[in-house]
Amino acid sequence: MQFECYVVWAMVREILEYPDPRLREPGKPVAEVTDEIRTIDCAADDEPSDLRVFINPEILEKDGQVVWNEGCLSFPGVTEEIKRAERIKVRALDRDGKPFELEADGLLAVAIQHETDHLNGVLMIDKLNALKKRMMGRKLAKARAEAGSA
């Protein structure tokens, strides 16, 4: 199964593509949940929203292992099989700044791990062995070339 996660920051920002060095910079914790941060739902007014907000997420527990064919906006046009924990427990703040804990499995657990990695400056390519990293680099170059010719 494939997924693409979209991290919505406190403000809409440009999508950084690999190998932009800013992707390696850990995010700074949110000190205070403000009205500006609460306006992070980018669904149109006439669209239903299933926005899940995890401010300052911390993965408390990991269990099991699963392999997902992940995609990422920082690696446009490329997917790769990534090993992740099958089940997690995460603690975070909601959009009102209230703490909560959540146990997740399946796609939600994978998505939370993927996005938490981004916040820590870790990319999906970092989860691959040397051979798969080279192959992913070739796939990315090919996808960029095809996008440029379209």
What are the catalytic residues? 115
Angle at 59 between CA 74 and CA 10, to 5 degrees: 50
How is residue 3 written in tokens? Answer: 């997924």
Contact between 33 and 93 (Cβ < 8 Å): yes
